[in-house]
Chains A and B, each alone.
Chain A
């Protein structure tokens, strides 16, 4: 019976998904409980920040610059029709600070650092380094997972800020230097429209939430990966897919709370 078989497949997948959800929640709670070590020996966290944060700076800066330049070009084309080219600064800054900065930085972070985290943890598990740690009475969550978690959570808002600044700079280069929008109105209209509390802080909160989501998904997928080559490969793919979806979904929810046309 093909119908019965497909129903069975759907059922087992659903149960498996709920199961993993619960396991992932327990994993997050354990990570938070055992985070003491990653602050007492802050060196561990600093080292992970180097691998997840510092190594992502180049791609974040280049991507931010190009996104800002594209926003400058496209925004100018549209605003020109209404004779309000001077609002270009507002358009570039608001779209970057509120949405594109946090979201695109998080997407890049998920594919640059998240996948590396999953592969690293998954490989440690496959080569039985994690079991060896447990054997030596070293808690792998405190020693391996929590420092990576906090490193990701700290890095994400910083990366999103760098992304936004590079984007604004890219928009400035295209809009003011290349196209020739008035420099004074570019900056003054931008400063008039961008509110520190409402726009910049909300963008930071967003990137913080994305940081938590991406690192938890990446570390959990690595920790839960089947200890084989295919298992690690599949887990890495799932990390990128799931964290990208999680970022976009969370972004919608947060935007609905933060900017519902107050």
Chain B
């Protein structure tokens, strides 16, 4: 079986195609920026998650440290139970506060982690106790228009 010019051209074509796919994955997509080899999970309860969705980012000091894995409603507490998958390079103290934040005024929701001062670090499967729910823009506007109950005194 000898080589032919077709092989050369088709080989070049396949290399170009796979190269294009690599460019898409690395330069256009987020495969290079988001590469977590080892992960651990944390649970958080929120009274209101707003527009948070699975795969939303988890950031601490603005740095991407993980993703939202699942969101379910806890049938006993009637609160949203959010599971976070975090990069195991980053450990957080047990009094870390999880906040649902918005990028920009109308942008996507993400979870911001504010590290506390405890020495004990959170381990796989543990619960983040201090949370702050999503800021609902409509509620804020409502409070502004109708006034807070205690501000009328």
Contact = CB atoms under 8 A, between A and B. Distances in A.
A164 interface: yes
Interface string B12-56: 111011101101110111111100000000000000000001010
A50 interface: yes
A192 B10 contact: no
Contacts of B16: 57, 158, 162
A204 B20 CA distance: 12
A190 B33 CA distance: 12
B90 interface: no
B6 interface: yes
A200 B10 contact: no
Contact of A50 (B9, B25, B29, B30): B9
A46 B20 contact: no
B7 interface: yes
Interface residues of B, number: 26
B6 A191 contact: no
A90 to B, nearest CB: 10
Nearest to A190: B28
A46 B6 contact: yes
Contacts of B17: 155, 157-159, 161-162
Most buried by B among A168, A191, A198: A191
A253 B29 CA distance: 24
7 contacts: A47-B6, A54-B13, A97-B28, A168-B27, A191-B33, A195-B30, A196-B25
Interface of A: 43, 46-47, 49-50, 53-54, 57, 93, 97, 155, 157-159, 161-162, 164-165, 168, 187, 190-192, 194-196, 198-200, 204, 262
